Structure formats: structure tokens, C-alpha cells
A and B are shown apart, each in its own frame.
Chain A
Amino acid sequence: MSYIRKPKFQHPDLQTNDLGFTRRDYEGTLTTLCGGCGHDSISAAIIQAAAEMSLEPHRVAKISGIGCSSKIPSYFLSKSHGFNSVHGRMPSVATGANLANKNLHYVGISGDGDSASIGLGQFCHIVRRRINMLYIVANNGTYGLTKGQLSATADLGSKTKAGDESLYDNIDMATLAIELGASFVARSFSGDKQQLIPLIQAGLTHKGFAFIDVVSPCVTFNNTDFSTHGYKNTWENYVSLGQIDFVPMQKEITTSYAAGKDKEITLHDGSVIHLHKAGKNYDPSNKENAIHHINTHKKNGEIATGLLYINQSTSDFHELQDTVDKSFNELSFHDLCPGNESLQDINHTFK
């Protein structure tokens, strides 16, 4: 970690967004992660994404569990709400928070230990319950905080820094999320912000459960030549679905794209995802196709990245539960306790 504060000076041409904020206003405290940790690039990507989208910081809640990954929320959006919860229990806290106030943007940050081991059950259930949030797994295939043991997402044959080989096949978080009913599933790499930033923006805009599995190398314990989660291996075996652009709803008019050249996906609020190159021939609305795509590349030792799956027709938790329009935290005492007369009316229906 660095001992100095990040200087306040910023680039004089740094753009301000619709709220008058620059990207620097979306920063958090100075990182205490190891220098070179992929997680810092995820923070930087979230900061950039939020600034470009003009997110109001006080309308964002960031929730995490335990682990290096779960420290990330300290390093972005210091003016937002935050909850650093128990190991593997971020999904429960996120579910509770979303239940209480459905009008915030929820950003859940977890890691491969937090979500694929101790919290795997919680992960499965939050996907299944379709909580409207963006769930990011900073996936480095190792337990960095406990000095580099193999995690459940380490690929078969991958080795730790100490030389231990993974004897088991990995849990593929993206495939799992698709199987369990996530309506937005993407994979990216901390080193590729051009892809990661629009995916984060699309995930934050998507209505329903959005999941991004981000390969985020652990520079201290899992960045060797014989690790499949290091920078070198990821750069070499990285297969992208091509350039992706996110155009927020209000910006649509000013940006022009050549019609027919890209695939366009319009989100519920009018924002558009543009998929270029390889992405325009890929059908992200087909579950089986997505899983097949991931597995085919995996067989070749490759990492399939990009927007792998999206389904905009599913309902989120609140719609399925048919909750009231108002968020629960805005309900008044009278709404919640309407008095004896209402109780009598209800009781009457059971007679």
C-alpha cells in the first residue's frame, strides 16, 4: 500500500458529467491492495462507468463479503452507501437491502472464494431470486488473502505459486449463473477496460440480475506462467466477442452508428448496447448457445469474454412477488399499520 494520499490535482481537461462531477469525484479511498492487483482495475472501471453514466452516488449501494475482492467497494464511490458483510453472505444482505429499497442501484462485489466456495449456496439463491442488481465476481482463481491456495474457480491443471496443482475441474461462475436463471451474464478481464466499462454500464442498467465474472489476476500469488488466471495466460487466451459500446438513453441522439453493421440491444430504459465485430454474429439471447460457446473455448484453453447472455423478458424479484409500487422504506406507519378497520376487512375475507 502507498502511504501518501492521491494528489487532488487532476487533468484540467477532465470532463464533467451531467451532474457536474468528474471521474475523480467517483473515486474512493486509496487502494490498500497489492500493486498490480486486477481488482484495482475493476474499481477504476466502475468509477469510469458510473461517471460516464452520471450515476448519482447517493443512489448507489455497494455490498460485499470477505476477501481481497470484498475490499474493492472502499476504493470507488466513497459517497455511496456501503455494507461489508460476512464471508459469503453478501447475497443475503443485498437481497434484504433490495427488498427494503428497490430504487437504488445495487453493486455486489465478491470473489471466487466468497461466491464459489463459502458463499456458493447464497450465490445460487440470489441468482434464482432474480434480485435486480449488478453482481461482480473478481475472479483470480486463488485465495490471495490467505497466501495463495487454489480456489474453486482454479482450472484443472493450473498450479499455485508454491507448485500445488489443481486436481479438480473449476466451477464456471458464468455458466452457473446462466443455468440458474440470471438474465444478464458477461465475462471480462480487468486488463480490458474497453470491454469491462460498457459491460458494467449495461449491467447497472439491466433490469434483473446482472452477473459479470471478471478475470482479475492476483499479482502476488497467482501470476505465474503455470497459472491460468495470470496476466500472461489471460492476454494470450483471451477471446472477446468484439468491441462493445454502451449508449445511455439520454445520449442516444448525439451518437451515430452505421446501421446494420452492428448488433443493437435496446435495454428497458432505452439505452442501447452496440456489439461490433464478432459480437454481431453471436446470439446472446440463446442460453444453450451461450453455454456451448463458453465450453467450446474452455476446451481450447481459451477464455470466452463479452456479453454472453441476456434475456430482457424475465421479471425481477419485486415483479414476481408483486410488491407495492412504493419501495418499502418509503412506506409510512399508516401504510404498514392501517388500523383495526383494515384488519377487520382482512379477517372478513377468511370467514
Chain B
Amino acid sequence: MKPTNIKNPDYFHKVVDCQWACPAHTPVPEYIRLITEKRYSDAYMINWHSNVFPGILGRTCDRPCEPACRRGRVEEEPVAICRLKRVAADYKSDIRDRLPTIPKKKNGRHIALIGAGPASLTVARDLLPLGYEITLFEKDHLSGGAMRTQIPRFRLPSEVLEEELHYILDMGINCRFGEEITSMKALLHEGFDAVFVGTGAPLGKRLELPGFEEAEANIHTGIEWLANVAFEHISSIGKKVIVLGGGNTAMDCCRTSKRLGGEQVTVTVRSGFDEMKASPWEIEDATNEDIPIVNFHVPKRYILKDGKLSGMEFQKVEKEYDSDGKRLLVPTGEDPVIIPCDDVLCAIGQENSFPWIERDLGIEFDQWELPILNKDTFQSTHEKIFFGGDSALGPDNIITAVAHGHDAALSIHLICQNQDINDRPVPLTRLNSQKMGIHQWSYENDISSDVRYAVPHAQKEKTLNDLNLEVELGFDEELAFNETMRCLNCDVQTVFSDKLCIECDACVDICPTDCITFTGNSEEQTLRKNLLAPAKNSDQDIYVSDILETGRIMAKNEDLCLHCGLCAERCPTSAWDMQKYLFNTAKAENACQN
């Protein structure tokens, strides 16, 4: 193998698994260390710059970082990254004086944002400090988008939502709320320099089975129903409720039903539990509220009694694989199952919908009615029109919408400054030694072997009776401290200098996870097998040095490195050093500095 080029900004970034997995590339270990030091406001601001909604995401994020966490590869559970983010938000002091100042003198460019969800607000956050004038259109009277309408208040209290929305709204946005855009053509006539579409995936589906028309009054679309609950248009539901679907919306629907008078709430899923799309912790929360989830039940028809919905019939199926390995759901032949119900909530997916965009404007759409976009710039086939969030690539999550917002804001800034939209600024990186003295590092390398700490919950008797009472209490400071000590500090990199190495094997002997090998060089597949412990995880790189004096190379498997720094502590010549790698994606403010 060729010597690893550690100057490539992606190389060490990839070692920080959580940050690499985060769509917005939040510097996770950096903010976790700040929480350890009780520097909550500092931790909050690192999050705020990367993901814009730390308090909201600390409660609701899909957490792509956690399955990626290295801790999950050396023991059972990853660090509770998401809930530590909430700690930063819960314990911070007033941070308003740390927010960017908005120039009074505008730069003469005017941007329209459609939909006041996380993607649009991120664009606003990135562009307002640069002097842009922003007009935000929202069909509802309140901002927040899916964060407000699809996430129940018992998971995301309104004060947290309002606080973080207002950090941006208070920057001076021209809000045109309650104004639904019905024609893109008309909007373009208003003369905006760029238009950002962040309208989400607003179209829910209802399952049309026999009996649907008669029972329609009691068959609801999950996301619409949740939005109506959020806007207090709906405050009750029947005693018996069936929720169709196995995603996070289904979990929110069933838990909300339970708080609005649903006594027998059942979730039914077509496939097996292992194929459910909902996050495991959301399934767990629903189960903790005594909501049964039945799998392998395919809905067949709505049953009516006296012209009103009284139940649903399901066919029981089981999983089989055909000769191509495709998963099939085959009826078991058992009698159909009938579950009585007063209401049915359909949480079986949502779609994008752009009936208001005329098709002769130069904005092209694909076969799934999604806009054709450049995936790096989020520019549509119309030079001035950008898409982000669910409306860009289909339903996803808040953190992805934020990441889109950052990229789109950068693109808008580049075109407004007449720069090449494809000439993206390089990420901001820094690599600094953490050595403070002999065997002293500026980070805590004596990592805790504790198992993951659970977040305390409020009493079920209370939360089930109050739609707005938050279920999770969040970590207290002591629990948070203990949980932070589980972080392996993967951003503190093991940096190797081949010129200094005397090949004494001290690092090899001390490494707790057998990461380091000195061996003859070969091509990657062979080398992976020849290491002290074979490197089977091909997603993780091998850090290879130049040829050493004995003709061998140093090969380090990044997969299971604990970043404990013992290699550097035992190294007599400081050929190993622990260096902190800070990585931040370039945002609009980092472009066009000249």
C-alpha cells in the first residue's frame, strides 16, 4: 500500500465516525469534552454552528452518529451522543450575545425561502449574517415545519422549539406566514435573486381498502392528524385506535392517541419487527407505554357496523425468501385477524408534492416527482432555484434538512457573488498536538468502561395524561458527566512520524486492541490479513507509513483504536503523537472572503 496521505481532509475526518456519519458533520467529540468540563454554552455553540437546532435535535434526532460510534464496536452500546447534545442545550446560559451580528446595511440581494422548516431556517441562519435580505413564506401561521407539526410536544416541548426558532427569526426575517405559495411563476415575478424551496414532503397517504369510503371519516393520515393535534384542531380520538405502519410517524401517532383518549391503541406492521423503519428507541418508548405492536399483519379491509368503522381485518403472513433472495410475505393460512377500532391512523409513508410549480419554468422533475438537483449544490435545473430538506430528495430527517440548508446557502451565496457554484471552499481543518508534558494530554484518555447510561423518564402515570408533558427528563449533570467519559475522543488522532520511529515495538505491545503492526508491505487485501489482528472491517482504513529502516512499514488498523494514547505514551521518540483534528464544513460565511 502507498503511505497514507493524512493531509487529505477526509482521512482523519473518517476516523471520527460520529462526525463522519452526521449529515451536518457536527464535531461531536469536541462538544462532548466541553460538556465534561461543564462548558455547556461552548458545547451548545459548536452544535449551533453545525446543526442549528441543538435543543430540538438533542431530543428528536434520528442519530445517524450513534450506530457509527466506535464504542459500539468495542462494546455493546454507543455513547448517548444525541442526549448529550440535549444536555448542552438544557444547561447552557443565555447565549444570545454569541449569535452572529446581522449587518444593518444589506448587500442588496433578496432571497425567498418557501416553507419555514429546518432547511429554510438553516439557509436564513447562514445568509442573514452576510447581509442578505430574506423573505420567508409559510402556509401555516407558525414556523418550524415538521419539527412543529409532526413531532408531538411530549417529545419536544414548545419552549425549546420556540427558543431555537426565534434565534433565527429574530435575526430580522421578512416573514410572510399564513401565505401559501400557489404559483412559482408568480413568485419569480417578485424579482428574488434566488428561491429556496423547503416545503417538506407534505403528502400523507391513506390506505384505500374495501370499506374505505364508508369509513373515511374515521380514517386519518398520520402526518395531517399529528399537525392538527399540534395546532390544537384535534383534541380527542376514539377509545380503540389502530395505527398502520412501522415508522417513527406511527410511533408518534400511537403515543399521541394514547394521550387523547385512546385506551386500546394497537400498531400493526406488515413485515417483521426487524424491518420496522422506526428508530429502536422510539419503538421502545411506545412499548413502555404499553402499546402493543403486532407484526406480520397485512391489512385487508375496513369493517363497518351500522355504517361506522368498527374494526379492521388483517391477514397473517410470514417471511420467506425466493430463489433470488428477495423477501416475500406469504400468508400463513391462519384465520384472518380482526382488531376492533373506532379510528385508524395511516402512517404508511409520505410523498413530495409540487402542484404549485409550473412545469414550464425550466425546473425539471424525475419520475417520482422529485426535482432534478445537483446533489452537492442543491441547485435545480433552474439556475436561481434551490431545494433542500424532504422536498429535495424525499422524506428523511431534520439533521439531513439542516445539512442541505448549509449547502444550499453556500450555493446561493456563490451565485449571488458571481462565483462558480461548483468551486466549493475546502473544509476548515486543524491538527494540533495534545501533548502537555510527559504522559499528560489535554484530553482525558483514561476512558470509562461503564455501560451506556439510560436517560431518566417522567412517571408514566403523569405523562400519559398530559399531551404536553415531556417524557424524557434528560440527563442530570452527574449522569451527563459519566456518559461523556465513555466517549473515546476519536478526533484525537494517532499521528505517526516514520522518520522518528526506532521500531522498538513499544506501541505494538501496549495497544489494548491490537491495532498496530510492523510488517512487510503488500497490497491492501493481503496486508489486512497479515496484521496482528486481521482487519475485517473494510469500511475502516489502514493507516500505512512510509518504509522504515528495517524495510518494514507501520500499519495501523483504524477500526478499533480506542484513542487512549498509550502508543504515544510508550513511544520513546514521540514517533506517535496524539493530535486533535478539528473539522468543520465550509459554510456560506467561509466563502468569497475576498
Contact = CB atoms under 8 A, between A and B. Distances in A.
Q: Indicate, yes or no, whether A interacts with B.
A: yes
Contact of A9 (B445, B502, B512, B533): B512
Given A36-B572, A232-B549, A11 B562 contact: no
Interface residues of A, number: 35
Interface string A221-237: 00100000001100100
Interface in B436-459: 439, 445-447, 449
Contacts of B505: 40-41, 44, 190-191, 193
Nearest to A192: B505
A34 B510 contact: no
A351 interface: no
A35 B506 contact: yes
Contacts of B74: 9-10, 12
Interface in B536-594: 536, 549-550, 560, 562, 564, 566, 569-573
B509 interface: yes
Contact of A6 (B439, B506, B508, B566): B566
Contacts of B550: 235
B502 A7 contact: no
Contact of B512 (A7, A34, A193): A7
A4 interface: yes
Contact of B573 (A1, A36, A217, A235): A36
B184 to A, nearest CB: 54
Contacts, number: 96
B506 A36 contact: yes
Contacts of B534: 13
Nearest to A235: B550
Contacts of A36: 502, 504, 506, 570-573
B562 A2 contact: no
Most B CB contacts (10 A, CB to CB) among A36, A40, A44, A193 go to A36
B75 interface: yes
B514 interface: yes
A9 B566 contact: no
A22 to B, nearest CB: 11
A344 B570 CA distance: 66
A36 B534 CA distance: 24
B504 A231 contact: yes
A8 interface: yes
B572 A40 contact: no
Interface string A26-55: 000001001111101101100000000000
A7 B449 contact: yes
Interface in A258-304: none
Contacts of A9: 74-75, 449, 512-513, 562
Closest 8 CB pairs of A and B: A36-B572, A44-B509, A4-B446, A35-B570, A36-B504, A9-B74, A36-B506, A219-B572
20 contacts: A2-B570, A3-B439, A7-B447, A7-B449, A9-B562, A10-B74, A10-B513, A10-B514, A11-B514, A11-B533, A11-B560, A36-B502, A36-B570, A36-B571, A38-B504, A40-B509, A40-B570, A44-B505, A191-B504, A235-B549
Interface of B: 73-75, 439, 445-447, 449, 502-506, 508-510, 512-514, 533-534, 536, 549-550, 560, 562, 564, 566, 569-573
